[in-house]
Structure 1
């Protein structure tokens, strides 16, 4: 029995996740992390999409994207297959690097979009890797609170909802998140 086709359309937004096979590490060092982000950049050039947030953890990845002309499967195949070949060659291993196909959660509202952005940026804090999101170098959080944006994260869509004196994006992310949606 084949897999169900995932539906998509131009303008659809997704929280994409990919985990290492058997929850194994998919990044051994900074060189691996940089290479993964190079493949993300290459995919953006070949199959344009908006990247709103990312977080690379040692055994999984989070991406928050908006599609333009190409389904998410094409984008993720480009990134994941290139990275898996690179990783296996570099570390002299073979076999599957990623656990099954990538996960994708359709973003159906601006509230869920903002929640996912916060969730992605808080991931290293919740995993007790850092005490504050800005201390984790492999997420897009610093693109939101500083001028440093090496991977061309589209911050404008998110930040337009925080142009108020009542709540900044930094406050939104660093506040204790709600228990449930």
Structure 2
């Protein structure tokens, strides 16, 4: 069965996720994550896009990407193909690293993007591997709070422009999540 055609237009924003095959780990050590980020930066140079948020978990990734002139399929296929070749060679594996093609959920507006950035940045906390999002080193969250100039990989200015300052964004991300009718809500 063919994969459904993704909706794309210039400046479309997507929450992209990809998981290891059979939920297996796709990162074994820090050098794997550094290499993934290096490949992501190379793809950003070849096929410009804005990376608004990311989180590299052990067995999956989250990316919040705004395209410019290229659909995400072009750079995601290249990114994951190169990373899978690196991983399989390094660990002497064969076969698929990722569980099928990546998933890309189109974000309708800035409110959706803000909620997804929050979701991405809280992922390590929900997985109980960090008590606060700034403690997790494989996420863009520390870059949102940094006093240093932003990295060339991540674009923080778009999302931060909806807040008075970085502290207000930090408060937004850390708002408690209430549950009503089994669905999370921000309160």
TM-score by length of 2: 0.92
Distance 1:74 1:170 in 2: 33
Matched residue, 2:11: 11
Distance 2:164 2:178 in 1: 22
Extract unaligned runs of 5+ from structure 1. none
Residue 159 in structure 1 maps to residue 183 in structure 2: no
Deviations 1:125-163 (A, max 9, x none): 010001000000000001100135445311111001111
* CA RMSD, Structure 1 to Structure 2 (Å): 1.6
- Equivalent residue runs for 1:65-144 within 5 Å: 65-144=65-144
Q: Report if aligned partners of 1:124, 1:130 keep a CA contact under 8 Å in 2.
A: yes
Distance 1:19 1:112 in 2: 22
**For the structure 1 residues 178 and 111, does the alpha-carbon distance in structure 2 shift closer, same or farther, using more than 3 Å as the test?**
farther
Secondary structure of the corresponding residue to residue 162 of structure 2:
helix
Q: Report if aligned partners of 1:27, 1:58 keep a CA contact under 8 Å in 2.
A: yes
Distance 1:106 1:153 in 2: 19
Query: 1:3 Cα shift?
Result: 2.2
**For the structure 1 residues 106 and 129, does the alpha-carbon distance in structure 2 shift closer, same or farther, using more than 3 Å as the test?**
same
Extract unaligned runs of 5+ from structure 2. none
Distance 1:87 1:118 in 2: 29
**For the structure 1 residues 164 and 43, does the alpha-carbon distance in structure 2 shift closer, same or farther, using more than 3 Å as the test?**
closer
Query: 1:30 Cα shift?
Result: 0.2
